[in-house]
Amino acid sequence: MAQVLEFKLPDLGEGLTEAEIVRWLVEVGDVVAIDQPVVEVETAKAMVEVPCPYGGVVTARFGEEGTELPVGSPLLTVAVGAPASDAGADAETETEGSGNVLVGYGTGAPPARRRRVRRLAADVVTSVADAPAPAPAPGTAETGGRGDGPVPVISPLVRRLARENGLELRELTGSGRDGLILRADVEQALRATATQEATAQEATLLPPTTLPSTTLPPATLPTPATMTSPTTDGVTRTPLRGIRGAVADKLSRSRREIPDATCWVDADATELMRARAAMNAAGGPKISVLALLARICTAALTRFPELNSSVDMEAREIVRFDRVHLGFAAQTERGLVVPVVRDAHVRNTEALSAEFARLTESARTGSLTPGDLTGGTFTLNNYGVFGVDGSTPIINHPEAAMLGVGRIVPKPWLHEGELAVRQVVQLSLTFDHRVCDGGTAGGFLRYVADCVEQPAVLLRTL
């Protein structure tokens, strides 16, 4: 006899409370394998394919395409342990749950064939009709049971955070419902470990491998017409929910919590553009302006590491990172997103160009993962592509700074004592005044400007 299990929408993005169904990948009556993607949803971070942790026959779906569902609400039900629909059917079903919700984060179950069968036999219908009400399977991620079964973790981001910091999840006690391990549980365990290490080593900073609790930087995405109410007396009301709601919360939190300040300077980028032209004329992969600016940023952060940090007000500590995960703006048809280049500080300009190209293409095709959009420690905002000279961007909370780059245009400039037409760019730095004073911020910006004006300055740090 089949048992009907209910699969609920998990937290896919650092505590986001809702997601919109974009496309169903299975129909009622399909046979699904463990970790087979069953629905594509959109969060404020990315488009995500959600795999089902159960193997069996889909008996119900909840929500039509375009419907917005809160985290924890039912997505679908699966009849597990159902008999095959006929002797000729070779699709396999699994009766164990993996506890996984995103493809590629690993599973405690053996590999399964990912084949879909679009038929539901009479014996399966009978088994489902006689089955008890949906209930979590023993030992699955939703029960909170330990034993030899999967660890009670729903979010793959929690799994990754623990894995990157060498933390054994089975040793934790979850504070969520039914013992579910949350991100806060992992962070608390990491802080406790850091405190012990700091006491032993008489250190004052957290381990450099601890990544900040970063969410997607502010993105400007078009609001669907269906979300905008009809005009009344010339007034149109658009609900602040979904993507726009997440953006509003993000911007408000940054302004509310971060005492930011901005400094800026004009720089002569003529020599930088000549250097780029010479590099590209030598053959090999093309080097982008963004890659050169990113290389300058990482060199500047080496000299002024205070700006590669965040503030933990609960612990009243400045948390400094020795790895630079560089966020950058990428314009897509869906709007502006900010992918993150991991370990940008160890990449040369050629490697940076390649990674920027890869992430930009993924952004345009909508295939960025939540991991591509989180974990940044510093942001490079090239708003010059929009034809503007300057800006005072809002810091991507909880980072400590953002470098803004305007357009590079010919302007009159005093060069070697004579007036000449040079390629001029405006650079601006918005920084968290809690992590440093104006002297540090000014030193960082001046070093960036010096590298732009004289690229050979970079040779001192290579």
Query: Would you call 433 a catalytic residue per the annotation?
Result: yes
Give every CB contact of residue 160 below 8 A, 6+ residues apart in sequence. 105, 371
Rounded (5°) CA angle 289-294-298: 155
Burial class (CB in 10 A: 0-12, 13-18, 19+), 384: buried
Q: Which of 345, 397, 415, 433 is catalytic?
A: 433
Task: With CA atoms as reference, report the closest residue to 299 among 341, 339, 346, 357.
Answer: 346
Rounded (5°) CA angle 290-292-293: 65
Instruction: List, in sequence order, every residue forming a beta bridge with 41; answer none if it has no partner.
Output: 21, 48
By the 8 A CB rule, do 300 and 444 touch? yes
Give how far Cα 149 sits from Cα of 55, 111, 200, 417, Å. 16, 16, 35, 75
Q: Are strands 409-415 and 418-432 parallel, antiparallel or unpaired?
A: antiparallel
Chain centre to alpha carbon of residue 79 = 33
79: left (phi over 0), alpha (psi -120 to 50) or beta: beta
Single-letter amino acid code for the residue at 15: G
Cα separation, 171 vs 190, in Å, equals 12
Task: With CA atoms as reference, report the closest residue to 56 among 4, 8, 102.
Answer: 4
Beta strands in 122-276 (DSSP E): 260-268
Task: With CA atoms as reference, report the closest residue to 304 among 338, 251, 263, 252.
Answer: 263
By the 8 A CB rule, do 66 and 20 touch? yes
Active site residues: 433
